[in-house]
Structure 1
């Protein structure tokens, strides 16, 4: 049995959307020859390749096309599909895939872009708050060979033990 022949080029965004570790699989539909996404985790379901959101979501609801919600898992780097029951579970700001109906036009062909990781703002480093003597002592110890450093006595005036408050960050 031969594999079905694709009638279109494979969308490039599918490589980042569905990595090899995902339970989702990109394949060619046997009937119409279009690329589809198959969820093979529990019940095998077939979805069109195209992000449904905004006005496209309204079109999918009017046409009665079932949709599934995309939940991006940044920890594993691939999406998880959550089923919706009719209009329950559909939110206007969500991202969805429409169920594949062979020989019918797709609701959308918009590519998926994974969300950017939010990073908390960091505190700017204000530079060293050490005296010139402490910086010179650090440089001296830093540049000392290890064989000589083993025999070095610990100084009684330790760096950062003065009256000023030292913090790491």
Structure 2
């Protein structure tokens, strides 16, 4: 090649554009050694990772093969992931999503696309948490607005607030 860059020997998966947007410290590039697409983490030390999401049975395979792993932490507020190091098997959770370290000319552990975690609630909608009585709300406001000098002399109430099986003390 005249520009010194190696051409990819595979098609770039379309989901990588959403996974690694321009604002991310991660970069999708072509490995100079084998020509496969890889993800470079340029946040601190430049690490190179295969792009497939490692989870479930693939996680077991990666551990058996001794492939380094990094945890994918999705940041919905900025719309891209960060990668967090794990040390061997320490820090690996069975419900986590990981990328495996890239090793030239070896098969990827996974080519599964990454899917961001589902949001628990849409923005702008109220939480709809425990329903408190007017008396409980009034007691909370009274304690909240009480000066600390007076609060430290206040007796702890014996009644509990909560709903259902959940029991919480005011203090």
Question: What TM-score do you get using the length of structure 1 for normalisation?
Answer: 0.70
Equivalent position to 1:53, from 52, 55, 58: 55
Deviations 1:28-66 (A, max 9, x none): 000000000000010000000100000000000000000
Greater mean alpha carbon deviation, residues 110-119 or residues 35-44? 110-119
Partner of 2:16: 14
The alpha-carbon deviation at position 119 of structure 1 amounts to 1.0
Partner of 1:93: 95
Equivalent position to 2:110, from 108, 111, 114: 108
Separation in 1, partners of 2:31, 2:9: 10
Partner of 2:66: 64
Partner of 2:157: none
Q: How does 1:1-169 map to 2 (within 5 A)?
A: 1-119=3-121
The alpha-carbon deviation at position 122 of structure 1 amounts to 5.5
- Residue segments in structure 2 that go unaligned for 5+ positions in a row: 128-171
- RMSD, aligned α-carbons: 1.4
Question: What TM-score do you get using the length of structure 2 for normalisation?
Answer: 0.69
- Residue segments in structure 1 that go unaligned for 5+ positions in a row: 124-169
Which of structures 1 and 2 has the bigger CA Rg? 1
SS state of the match for residue 49, structure 2? strand
SS state of the match for residue 12, structure 2? coil
The alpha-carbon deviation at position 77 of structure 1 amounts to 0.5
Moved over 3 A (4+): 120-123
